Amino acid sequence: MKGKETKIILTEKEMPTSWYNVLPDLPKPLPPLLHPGTGQPTILPPPLFPKGLQDQEFNKERYIEIPEEVQDIYKLWRPTPIIRAYRLEKALDTPAKIFYKYEGVSPAGSHKLNTAVAQAYYGKKDGIKRFATETGAGQWGSALALGCAFFGLELKVYMVKVSYNQKPYRRILMETWGAKCVPSPSKDTEIGRKILAENPDSPGSLGIAISEAIEDAFGREDTYYSIGSVINCVLLHQTVNGLEAKKAMEKADAYPDIIVGCIGGGSNFAGMFLPFVKDKIEGKKPNLRIINVEPAACPSVTKGPYTWDYGDVAGMAPIAKMYTLGHTFIPPGIHAGGLRYHGMAPIICHLHKLGFVEAKAVHQVTTFQAGVQFARTEGIVPAPEPNHAIRVVIDEALACKESGESKTILLALSGHGHFDLAAYDEYLTGKLQDYDYPAEKVKEALTHLPKVEYVEA
Amino acid sequence: MKGKETKIILTEKEMPTSWYNVLPDLPKPLPPLLHPGTGQPTILPPPLFPKGLQDQEFNKERYIEIPEEVQDIYKLWRPTPIIRAYRLEKALDTPAKIFYKYEGVSPAGSHKLNTAVAQAYYGKKDGIKRFATETGAGQWGSALALGCAFFGLELKVYMVKVSYNQKPYRRILMETWGAKCVPSPSKDTEIGRKILAENPDSPGSLGIAISEAIEDAFGREDTYYSIGSVINCVLLHQTVNGLEAKKAMEKADAYPDIIVGCIGGGSNFAGMFLPFVKDKIEGKKPNLRIINVEPAACPSVTKGPYTWDYGDVAGMAPIAKMYTLGHTFIPPGIHAGGLRYHGMAPIICHLHKLGFVEAKAVHQVTTFQAGVQFARTEGIVPAPEPNHAIRVVIDEALACKESGESKTILLALSGHGHFDLAAYDEYLTGKLQDYDYPAEKVKEALTHLPKVEYVEA
């Protein structure tokens, strides 16, 4: 502050025109996906995904061109700003330099739109008419609703019933962008009807919603299925953010000592750190720390084994090598709905196993304390998910205060919390609670891992 | 699109360092404010407002420096982008060029923060400890909550009780930024207690809430009162937006033929058009059209007489010369709460009377039809207030299609609709209704105008 520049914003002309694909730069190849039926290596199931995504999932090219139509849509809100957190630094009285890259300026309010636009583009290119997808709290469903609106595609969103009833604003947002949204389990699919027949009051689950969306897409030739995180090509689409961040930091003659982000499926943070981890793999930045932050209530990387597991609860999705708490594990009801996933993006798990990135788990209440401090100094009210990362950023900045070091910290601020204020209310009124690590439930869930005979080369 | 630049963004270094004060450029002087007790010319009541604002209200300088501390805070989200609405143009198949200046990127979600930060700064400078203010739907209360958070000031917000109960998210937002928010009428003031004694179930009104906030500020030496629109200095603070827009358009070698914005108290749109109206007053742009858009349910400029009236419902505020529907008029419950004001900023009224700006009134349902078309093409879900302006922008663009003219249209997009989705739900489900012009109620309200003996020179 005091007359200094606060933001680093690239011009549209400086925007990346390619996504960065980390696969060719990995020192050891990424384990394949395995078919849930045969247990043998597979690609993304062909009738379900656009051809463009299948081509990208295990691509060998380092840079993959962003189609011009996708770039044109990105320009509605991209490049997103990097903001120097002068006010937070001052409140913490730290010598650390804190920067945050803010994806909440996207019309859908988070990074999710980066892949939603790309997936809708590739679907349109293949000539399909509609997408089907699932959503929990509604973040992904609303991003894809807007992605489909841009390309004139229909969208049906199966929204977990308990969220459908509790979060009407997210549903209305999807409908405003033209999507059809039904509570899951629904009467519109066989599996939905079956579950409703057994239990008419079923609150639904992400697993059920995925199964309904996949059944919908399998049953219609004009329809693709879409997923908002975890798989390689989704992480690829998110690298537009990290590439911008790297170029912007270069413009400011800065390079991070520490990069921090939250992980649920992993696409937000991988999108940020992959262009930087390249420097670490190449030995140019051996001391760069990349900290993945997950909730203590759902600590897949810090507590789960690195093994083969289904990507979804129902066991219909491919099997991936990842840190997992078991695909049948249902995490406690923390407000950071986007971090309640049993596994983790295989690319992040692989990089963690190889020692290029680290992970931390934090409890819920302390993340909201960090989020409120951020809101009162920097203005932005963050979503509950990035509050996890802000907690660790503040801890690292306070460590700098102790040590007297002036480290440069880069935060991936993935979105705003405008639709999550009920959670802030719970925090401010002292009603928010922490959840212990559910060790017994995880132990039980890990007995249901798939039996895999495939042996890595 | 198609590889073209979509946004015009200034750098921080290109940001205005002064606000533009239209008063010295008016061809005829603005009528004064009159004291509600004496009926004689007055300034802003001294114990209620910061000295900085009193100095600005009838200032003669054309440019007034923006304090560096205020500029530093503006840089958290300013300059805000001008975006070319390529997609909306294509959907309308119009030769018109549509640009929108988007204030929704501010952490509080609208233009209101521009003056909230300035007012908090001047209050802090005078050494006070707290502010008191009223809020209807919560837009102004939340902006001032953040403004006060930036300067470590306390804030008490009297929020109209019916909104307090209906819109908990706006209340939580204020609390997240550290403000105290109570439903009005409250037990915390004499007038509140009096009203509750008479009617314990009173739903409250903006008039009551203003009276409570003023009583609060009058009763304490450490407290100022704050208002979010209407008065000259608030419009002045908002000119940062219009100055940015003018400079950005120059960079793109463009100048608007038509500027469109919505008016409630008038600060959003005046902030945009004042730097442009200067060119019209000076005869440089005689054909520039400046269209003020108001709701048909509360049509002060298009239906009200230009006369002296109180600024507030209770008759405690100064008397201003303006288009008014009568200070006791309670407009129908349209969703654009920010446009439900009986009067209008005196500067806008004066410019309208002098023929430099025009006004249109539009009905509610058609504004949401325009807002949804905007959301599905440009992505952003606008607040109900700017939907009024979008309706007129679309109508003007369609008129261009008829005439074959390629006019340049600039829209003041004052904020997003993230907290207004219940209104979109009503529209999408066909429940939204229009309200006729309430002629009889206005006629009755106009019988309560103050008797003014002051005669203009």
A421 touches chain B (CB under 8 A): yes
B85 shares a domain with B127: no
Selected residues 295-324 of chain B with any CB under 8 Å from a CB in chain A = none
Closest residue on chain B to A81 (Cα): B77
Q: Is residue B341 part of a domain?
A: yes
| Domain boundary, last residue among A226, A259, A284 | A226
d(CA A369, CA A398) in angstroms, rounded, equals 15
- The C-alpha angle with vertex B116 and arms to B274 and B290, in degrees rounded to 5, equals 20
Among A226, A249, A269, where does a domain finish? A226
Task: Summarize the confidence of residues B209-225 as an average pLDDT.
Answer: 93
Q: Is the dihedral of CA B407, A146, B142, B162 positive or negative?
A: positive
Confidence (pLDDT) at A355: 98
Does one domain contain both A141 and A266?
no
Residues A305 and A179 in one domain: no
Q: B86 lies in a domain?
A: yes
Antiparallel, parallel or unpaired: β A82-84 and A97-102: antiparallel
Q: Please state whether beta strands B33-34 and B41-42 pair in parallel, antiparallel, or not at all (unpaired).
A: antiparallel
Instruction: Flag whether B71 is in a domain.
Output: no
Name every chain B residue with its beta carbon within 8 A of the beta carbon of A108: 379
- Three-state SS annotation for A414-441: CEECCCCHHHHHHHHCCCCCCCCCCHHH
As a whole number, mean pLDDT of residues A95-109 equals: 98
Both tokens of residue A83?
């903001």
- A453 within some domain: no
- Looking at residue A46, what is its pLDDT? 74
Give the closest of B106, B169, B176 to A375, CB-based.
B176
Residue A74 · residue A82 · CB < 8 Å: no
Residues A344 and A433 in one domain: yes
Query: A216 with A182, same domain?
Result: yes
Q: Are residues B119 and B253 in the same domain?
A: no
pLDDT at A166: 86
pLDDT for the residue numbered B44: 84
Residues B190 and B339 in one domain: no
d(CA A258, CA A288): 6
Determine, for residues A6 and B12 on separate chains, whether the beta-carbon distance falls below 8 Å.
yes
Asked whether residue B258 falls in the same domain as residue B392, the answer is yes
Tens digits of per-residue pLDDT, B220-259? 999 999 999 999 999 999 999 999 999 999 999 999 999 9
| Separation of alpha carbons B373 and B377, rounded Å | 6
Q: Which residue in A has a C-alpha nearest to residue B144's C-alpha?
A: A379
Predicted local confidence at residue A47, as pLDDT: 83
Task: Say which range, A11-20, B45-54, B433-442, has the weakest mean pLDDT.
Answer: B45-54
Q: Is the pLDDT of residue A3 over 90?
A: no
Contacts of A309-315 spanning 24+ positions with Cβ under 8 A = A309/A342, A309/A343, A309/A449, A309/A450, A310/A36, A310/A450, A311/A230, A311/A231, A311/A343, A312/A207, A312/A210, A312/A211, A313/A205, A313/A206, A313/A207, A313/A208, A313/A210, A313/A342, A314/A207, A314/A208, A314/A210, A314/A211, A315/A36, A315/A450
Would B358 be classed as within a structural domain?
yes
Quote the percentage of chain A above a pLDDT of 90: 88
Angular region, A253: left φ>0, alpha ψ -120 to 50, beta rest? left
Write out chain B residues lying below 8 Å of A181, CB-based.
none
Q: Do A1 and B72 touch (CB under 8 A)?
A: yes
d(CA A151, CA A414): 24
CB A305 within 8 A of CB A266: no
Predicted TM-score (pTM) of the model is 0.97
Residues A82 and A186 in one domain: no
Q: What is the pLDDT of residues A125-171, one digit of tens each?
A: 999 999 999 998 899 999 999 999 999 999 999 999 988 998 899 99
CA distance A34 to A323: 16
Q: A76, A87, A154, A174: best mutation site toward chain B, by most B Cβ within 10 Å?
A: A76
> What value does the mean pLDDT of chain A take?
96
Examine residue B185 and say whether the peptide bond preceding it is cis (omega within 30 degrees of 0): yes
Domain that holds residue A434: 7-16+77-109+239-448
Residue B325's contacts (CB-CB under 8 Å, 6 or more residues apart) are: B298, B299, B300, B303, B304, B331, B342, B343, B442, B445, B446
- pLDDT tens digits for range A110-121: 999 999 999 999
Q: Please give the Cα distance from A149 to B369 (Å, whole number).
A: 16
pLDDT 10s digits, B382-398: 999 999 999 999 999 99
The distance in angstroms from the start CA to the end CA of chain B is: 55
Distance CA B6, CA A76 (A): 7
Question: Average of pLDDT values for A354-359?
Answer: 98
What tokens appear for A231 in the block? 């798989």
Q: Which of B203, B226, B249 is the last residue of a domain?
A: B226
> Is A23 contained in some domain?
no
Phi then psi dihedrals of residue B295, to 5 deg: -75, 140
Q: Is residue A363 over pLDDT 70?
A: yes
Q: Model confidence over B259-309: pLDDT tens digits?
A: 999 999 999 999 999 999 999 999 999 999 999 999 999 999 999 999 999
Instruction: CATH number of the domain at B383, please.
Output: 3.40.50.1100
- For residue A2, what are the contacts with CB-CB under 8 A and spacing of at least 6? B68, B72
Strand, helix or coil for residue A314: coil
Number of A/B CB contacts below 8 angstroms equals: 139
B46 pLDDT more than 80: no
With beta carbons under 8 A apart, name residues in chain B contacting A11. 9
Neighbouring CB atoms inside 10 A of A373's CB total 16
DSSP H or E run through A395: helix A384-403
Report pLDDT digits (tens) over A253-311.
999 999 999 999 999 999 999 999 999 999 999 999 999 999 999 999 999 999 999 99
Tell me which residue in A71, A375, A418 faces B418 most closely, judged by beta carbons: A418
Say what the pLDDT of residue A1 is: 60
d(CA A264, CA A415): 14
pLDDT of residue B456: 80
Between chains, do A421 and B5 touch, taking CB under 8 Å as contact? no
Task: Provide the chain B residues 106-135 that lie in CB contact (below 8 A) with chain A.
Answer: 106-109
* Cα–Cα distance, A259 to A288 (Å, whole number): 8
**pLDDT in the model for residue B1:** 61
ipTM more than 0.95?
yes
pLDDT digits (tens, 9 = 90+) for A192-245: 999 999 999 998 888 889 889 999 999 899 999 999 999 999 999 999 999 999
pLDDT at B223 (0 to 100): 97
Interface of A with B in 365-404 (CB under 8 A): 372, 375-381
Whole-number pLDDT of residue A207: 83
Confidence band of B136 (pLDDT split at 50, 70, 90):
confident
**Within a domain: residue B26?**
no
**One domain for residues B294 and B429:** yes
| Interface with A, mutate which of B17, B74, B75 (most A CBs under 10 A) | B75
**A219 and A244 share one domain:** no
Helix (H) or strand (E) holding A347, with range, is: helix A346-353
Q: What is the pLDDT of residue A127?
A: 97
Residues of B in contact with A178 (CB under 8 A): 376
- Residues near B21 by Cβ (< 8 Å), separated by ≥ 6? B56, B59, B61, B62, B63, B64, B236, B239
The 10 Å Cβ neighbour count of residue A454 is 15
In-domain check, residue B33: no
**pLDDT for B156-182, tens place per residue?**
999 999 889 988 999 999 999 999 999
Q: Do A3 and B177 touch (CB under 8 A)?
A: no
**A254-270 b/e with 16+ CB inside 10 Å = b?**
bebbbbbbbbbbbbbbb
CB-based contact A2 B72, cutoff 8 Å: yes
pLDDT of residue A456: 80
CB contact under 8 A, A421 and B7: no
How many distinct structural domains can be found in chain B?
A: 2
Cα-flanking dihedrals φ and ψ of residue A429, to 5°? -100, 10
Residues B166 and B155 in one domain: yes
